[in-house]
Amino acid sequence: MRPANIVTSVADVLAGIAISGYFLGAGQEFLPVFLLSLSTVGLYGGGIVFNDVFDAELDKIERPERAIPSGAISIGEATLLGIILLGIGLLAAFVFSIWSGIVAFLILIFALIYDKFGKHHPFFGPLNMGLCRGLNLLLGISILSLSLRSLYFLGLVPLIYIFSITMISRGEVHGSNRNKLYTGAFLYLSVIGFILYSSFLQQHLLYATLFLIPFAWMIFKPLFVAIKDPAGKNIGKAVKAGVISLILMDAAWASAFGQVYFALLIALLLPLSLWLAKRFEVT
Q: How far apart, in whole angstroms, are the C-alpha atoms of residue 38 and residue 10?
A: 8
The pLDDT of residue 176: 62
Q: Dihedral of CA 117/249/195/154: which sign?
A: positive
**What is the pLDDT confidence band of residue 26, given thresholds at 50, 70 and 90?**
low
The pLDDT of residue 183: 92
Q: CA geometry: angle at 224 spanning 161 and 247, to 5°?
A: 40
The pLDDT of residue 179: 86
The pLDDT of residue 172: 63
**What is the pLDDT confidence band of residue 174, given thresholds at 50, 70 and 90?**
low
The pLDDT of residue 271: 96
- Whether residue 90 contacts residue 108, with contact meaning beta carbons closer than 8 Å, is answered with yes
Cα dihedral value 71, 74, 78, 84, nearest 10: -140
The residue type found at 228 is: K
Least confident stretch, 4-8, 128-132, 232-236: 232-236
The pLDDT of residue 281: 85
CATH number of 3-272: 1.10.3720.10, 1.10.357.140, 3.30.1130.10, 1.20.1260.10?
A: 1.10.357.140
The pLDDT of residue 199: 96
Of residues 206 and 122, more confidence is placed in: 206
**What is the pLDDT confidence band of residue 282, given thresholds at 50, 70 and 90?**
confident
Residue 29 has pLDDT above 60, yes or no: yes
Q: How far apart, in whole angstroms, are the C-alpha atoms of residue 38 and residue 36?
A: 5
- Whether residue 248 contacts residue 214, with contact meaning beta carbons closer than 8 Å, is answered with yes
| Helix/strand/coil for 146 | helix
The pLDDT of residue 175: 57
- What integer is the mean pLDDT of 91-120? 95
- Whether residue 173 contacts residue 45, with contact meaning beta carbons closer than 8 Å, is answered with no
